[in-house]
Structure 1
Amino acid sequence: MPLVLTNVLGIAGIVVWHLQGSNRPTGRLIVQIVFFVGMSLVLYLGGISPQHVDEGNLQGFAALLAKSALILWWTHLAWTIIGLVRIWLMLNRGPREAHLVRDMTVGVIYPGVALSIIGFVFGMPVGTLIATSGIVAIVFGLALQNTLGDLFSGIALTLGRTYAIGDWIRMKDGPEGRVVETNWRSANLLTAEYNIVVVPNSVLARQALTNLSRPDDTRQITLTVRIVPTQPSFAEEAMCSALQGSTRIVKDPPPIVALKRIDATAIEVDLLFRIADPADWAAARNEIIDLIYSQCEADGLALAAPATSLIFGPAAIDGEKTVRCIGARSSGAV
């Protein structure tokens, strides 16, 4: 009777579990727990251990009932554990991490339950099977070394929450772009040039990454401007006015104008401002350069050439001595 009741509860649990539907994970979990506890209680009261069945007194149909009852019990045990892990992941982790950990849990529990059924229910030597499968696993591991490296690197990056879909990342020795897709093997980055770069997970795990989207998506840009010597406060006010006229930079926190150095040829000023989207750095920089030029024209300021390519051409205009600067612009300076 305990074996018959265990089989009935196991089959009824499967039917009710399917009737709950995939959109009711909590209901399915409750069904799994209730029927698993009921089956365990019946086996316990009947003096039957899921790890060992005395088949000496069971013959024919009774032996078949015993095997089916234990198979159902081990199957419900696997489903119950997976259901509990799934609910815990939904409450404590994001969708991407939850999906990965759930797949890993399923990949561990199902083989373990299958080996338990083979060993405890059918009485087959599991140790020999494990040893044989271990040799096969070593052969496949050596053949798929790079692929497995990408796989485990992807697991480490996901569990560590290094980045998420939509984050803009910069690699130490690699491309820079927005993460648009991740999988078990690689991550796809959308660069500022609107190209997709596929980067293996093992490469991402080995390199130092800068996540430009954390704590937020804003990105700071530093632009150096060289101005022909004048009153420093006047140059500072002119640069502040240029920054305030921009529509592409973030105004909170406000941009910063820092007087870097002064000598006989120029005042160097660093303009520090933030943009909302790292992909807009070129447009924002171009706008700021245009505003700086217009503001210098309006305030009568002259832009100084880089110190490495400075050529002076004095000229007398309307009785005033002016200095015209000719030279190529260096990287990062106006």
Structure 2
Amino acid sequence: MFGDEHYLPLALINLLGIAGIVVWHVQGSSRPTGRLLVQILFFTGMSLVLYTGGIAPHQIDDVYTEGFAALLSKSARLLWWTHLAWTIIGLLHIYVRLNRKPREAHLILDMAVAVIYLGVALSVMGFVFGVPIASLVTTSGVVAVILGLALQNTLGDVFSGIALTLGKAYAIGDWVQLSDGTAGRVTETNWRSTNLLTGANNIVVLPNSMLAKQGLTSLSRPDETHQITLGVRFAAVQRPRWIEEAMRSVLQASTRIVKDPPPTVALKSIDAVAIDVELQFRVASLAMGTLAKNEIIDLIYDHCKADGLALALPAQSLVYVLATTRGEASAPRAESRSPGAP
């Protein structure tokens, strides 16, 4: 009989499926490559048995409808669909590991796994248990609309996180600065939020929907180097060329700045009181900025003493002194008179 021809292949598929699960667990989570090989081998063996036995897993079994044979048929198809899902998920994990971006692809991988499990679950209900998929999808669509309205904010964070991940606006370990002034290193991205480690060693948790609405500046791209500008005011009693040469010596003597591209000295302005100079240099990373500025300031002090350069007062203090002097000049002076004088 037609049914008798399928009995042995169905039993063999059940044995292969159960053996594959046991061997998969024996491999352990520390050997992802070994697990994937086990999944591929057993899934391939089950598929060959299905093909040689003329059994279609994507069709409802109308031969074995009751008794032990029906149970054997349903379990064989269920195991085949389960191994199919595990094999695809294993291949995705290996692909992500080969690209060496398991943390960046976390959201996309989770979404792909959810879609695979959902597709396999619908296939099992339709092709194994004979549940009408069309009515089930319609009912689940109504439920999805209700859940979507109830979880609107959460879903906004989820889809914003997916959009940020696909757009590759940042990666784990990047320094970023937001339009509201928040700055830090990206330490984690998940379905709901992104975590930043600030310079004060605090973790800032930003919902993905809020992060997607703000302007974001990546301080780690195209590389980790960061440009710093430092302004200095010198008294206008020295020649600007001497000041420029002295500041170039300061930048060349620094050991904490990047020399390629070379740092520059810009003479910004000059007046009767001061010469404004701006030092422009790069550091290897944003974390080196404070140490580099401290070293530059210390070197400026040493060169000023050695070369006889005089620093000028800030422009704000000159305005204050001038205003104070004018106020004293305009104040009425009391005259001393001798007694009896008219």
Q: Where do 1:170-249 residues align within 5 Å?
A: 170-229=177-236, 230-249=238-257
Structure-1 separation of matches of 2:86 and 2:208 = 31
Following superposition, the deviation at residue 118 of structure 1 comes to 0.7
Q: Secondary structure at the match of 2:278?
A: strand
Contact 1:226 1:268 in 2 (8 A): yes
Structure-1 separation of matches of 2:294 and 2:243 = 20
Q: State TM-score, norm by structure 2.
A: 0.81
Q: Where do 1:297-308 residues align within 5 Å?
A: 297-307=305-315
Does residue 281 of the first structure (1) align with residue 289 of the second (2)? yes
- Greater CA deviation, 276-285 or 144-153? 276-285
- Greater CA deviation, 70-79 or 21-30? 21-30
Residue among 83, 88, 99 paired with 2:90: 83
Q: Which residue of the partner structure matches residue 5 of structure 2?
A: none
Q: State TM-score, norm by structure 1.
A: 0.83
Structure-1 separation of matches of 2:205 and 2:54 = 58
Aligned length: 313
Q: Percent identity?
A: 68
Structure-2 separation of matches of 1:201 and 1:162 = 12
Structure-2 separation of matches of 1:57 and 1:297 = 99
CA distances 1:4-41 after superposition (whole Å, capped 9, x unpaired): 12212222222222222222222222222222222222
| Aligned residue identity for 2:234 | I
Higher strand share: 1
* Distance of aligned partners of 1:287 and 1:30 in 2 relative to their CA distance in 1, 3 Å threshold: closer
Contact 2:13 2:76 in 1 (8 A): yes
TM-align CA RMSD: 2.6
Structure-2 separation of matches of 1:34 and 1:189 = 43
Q: Which residue of the partner structure matches residue 13 of structure 2?
A: 6
Structure-2 separation of matches of 1:35 and 1:178 = 44
Residue among 110, 114, 123 paired with 1:107: 114
| Aligned residue identity for 1:137 | A
Following superposition, the deviation at residue 83 of structure 1 comes to 1.5
Contact 2:107 2:190 in 1 (8 A): no
- Greater CA deviation, 278-287 or 183-192? 278-287
Q: Secondary structure at the match of 1:295?
A: helix
Gaps of 5+ in 1: 314-334
Residue among 161, 171, 179 paired with 2:168: 161
- Which one has a bigger Cα radius of gyration? 2
Structure-2 separation of matches of 1:291 and 1:227 = 15
